[in-house]
Amino acid sequence: MIHLASAEEQAIAAINAAEALAISNVQLIRELKKILPKPFNQLTEIAVQTNTQGIQAVAATERAVVKKVSKKARTSRKNLSKALREANARLRTKSGKLRKGKTQKDVMQLAQKLKRKM
């Protein structure tokens, strides 16, 4: 069985990747400080540490913002998706046009009604 990552998992993975990239860029500065004049060595190390802490703080905050979707919400979305397929099948012709006198509003109302019955 193939498990597709949820939107939350994808968001957290993107945050983690961005954090790792930013920290690796800061570490690159640490490596390049060897070619800088001596007076700048201490300043560079302090800047690297400060930036690393800042990056980690921002990433932690962003991860905290990503909210898990409740089981009830996931079920509701899935049922609405099924209901929309059914409503479209009922209110559209074979060519895909809406039946005479029907609008997208009618499709959504029927879908919500079908969802409530699920």
Q: What is the pLDDT of residues 15-43, one digit of tens each?
A: 888 888 888 888 887 777 777 777 777 77
- Summarize the confidence of residues 36-54 as an average pLDDT: 76
Higher pLDDT, 38 or 87: 87
pLDDT score recorded for residue 2:
55
* 84 pLDDT above the threshold of 80: yes
- Say which residues have a Cβ less than 8 Å from residue 30's Cβ, sequence separation at least 6: 44, 45, 48
Contact between 87 and 111 under an 8 Å Cβ cutoff? The reply is yes
Mean residue pLDDT of the chain comes to: 85
Separation CA 15–CA 118 (nearest Å): 37
Contact between 52 and 26 under an 8 Å Cβ cutoff? The reply is yes
Domain boundaries, the chain: 7-65, 71-117
What is the sign, positive or negative, of the torsion defined by CA atoms of 90, 91, 96, 100? Answer: positive
DSSP 8-state secondary structure symbol assigned to residue 37: -
- Say which residues have a Cβ less than 8 Å from residue 100's Cβ, sequence separation at least 6: none
- Summarize the confidence of residues 1-13 as an average pLDDT: 71
- Summarize the confidence of residues 74-84 as an average pLDDT: 93
Statement: the pTM of the whole predicted model exceeds 0.95: no
Which band of pLDDT confidence, cut at 50, 70 and 90, is reported for residue 111? very high
pLDDT score recorded for residue 104:
94
- Summarize the confidence of residues 84-106 as an average pLDDT: 94
